[in-house]
Structure 1
Amino acid sequence: MADNYLEKQYEAYQARKAAWEKERKYGKKPSPMKRPKTLEKSTEGEETPPVSTNLENTI
């Protein structure tokens, strides 16, 4: 096996992790205008239809 294999792999991991954390910390934040409005659409003007039951067929 190669010498210092695990040490090199761990150093590469630490470098990737540091780059990821830096991007996460200083990256662009999504603008509020681009957020999906799924909750607003689902509550506006939509009502659940009444459930009709046929009691004659259940007896």
Structure 2
Amino acid sequence: MADNYLEKQYEAYEARKAAWEKERKYGKKHSLAKRPKTEEKSKGSENTPPITSHPESTI
């Protein structure tokens, strides 16, 4: 095994971490706007029948 293997691995890790933090800090901003709900989805949820806890027990 090569000398200073762990040290080299740790240095590579620190470089990847620094690059990730820089990208996170200065990267592309995500929009926080949400899409409006469609009427179809809201209508479908209102017509859903209630769920019973144990349908087999109602014999």
Give the structure-2-normalised TM-score: 0.58
Match of 1:29 in 2: 29
What is the CA RMSD across the aligned residues, in angstroms? Answer: 2.9
Q: Which runs of 5+ in 2 are unaligned?
A: 52-58
Counterparts of 1:12-51 in structure 2, within 5 Å, are 12-32=12-32, 35=34, 40-41=37-38, 44-46=42-44, 47=46, 48-49=48-49
The Cα offsets for residues 5-56 of structure 1, whole Å up to 9 and x where unpaired, read as 11111000000001001111111122245x556xx348622221478xxxxx
Could you tell me how far apart the structure 1 residues matched to 2:3 and 2:50 are?
73
Q: Which runs of 5+ in 1 are unaligned?
A: 52-57
What is the number of equivalent residue pairs in this alignment? 49
Give the secondary structure class of the aligned counterpart of 2:43: coil
Give the secondary structure class of the aligned counterpart of 1:17: helix
Percent identity reads: 67
